Structures are given as structure tokens and as C-alpha cells.
Amino acid sequence: MTPQDLAPDIDLIALWVKQYKTEQALDYIQKLVDTGALHPDLYYWQGKIYQQRQDYGLALNAYQKALDLYPHHKGAETGITMVQAILQIANSYYYENPYTDEELYE
């Protein structure tokens, strides 16, 4: 299966994601991958769905697979940057919280 053969499939996946039919899109991506399809956009859309679901580990893995197939995939690069920023913000709020349990009981 060539990248050109997958263009209609990727367009369909993009449409489903925009219509919030993410479960359908993920199932279709997995079906394509199981048949041996290799295209960075498959993994990009998979990462985007996982990112929307706040499943950041799976999102990073999917974006990285897209980069493994095409090292200059801008969408995957942006996705990784965004997920890392989200995780950094979440981490800083956790560790820099000025309120502690001790202050609640004073």
C-alpha cells in the first residue's frame, strides 16, 4: 500500500476526528496498521486523538512513530511540543502549589 493509496483513508480519519468520532477513527487506524499500512499521518491522527483524550503517554508514542516514519512531520513535532508543555504545566502546578495540608488545619 503506497502513501497515495492511503490518502482517501487519511482524509476520512481527519473528517471523523473533526466530527468527534474518535473511537471510529482509532478503530480504522488500527485496522489499517494491522494490514501493514505505514504512513506518518496515521500515527499523527492517532496521537491527536490520544492528546484530545488527555492520554499523553500514548499521544507521545504515536507522534514519535510518525516522526520515525517521516522525521520532519510538522504536525507530529507540534504535537510533541504541545504535550510536553501540557505535562510541564501540570507538573509545575503540582509541585509549586502554595497550599499545603498543614495550612488547612491552622
pTM above 0.85, yes or no: no
Mean pLDDT calculated for residue range 29-49:
96
Supply the DSSP string of 30-55, one letter for each residue: HHHHHTT---HHHHHHHHHHHHHTT-
Rg (CA), the chain: 18
Give the model confidence (pLDDT) of 66-80 as tens digits.
999 999 999 999 999
Give the model confidence (pLDDT) of 76-102 as tens digits.
999 999 999 998 887 666 555 555 555
The answer to whether residue 105 is domain-embedded is: no
What's residue 95's pLDDT?
59
Which residue did the predictor score with more confidence, 4 or 20?
20
Domain count, the chain: 1
The answer to whether residue 22 is domain-embedded is: yes
Residue 50, domain CATH: 1.25.40.10
The answer to whether residue 104 is domain-embedded is: no
The answer to whether residue 106 is domain-embedded is: no
Which residue range(s) make up the domain with 90?
A: 3-96
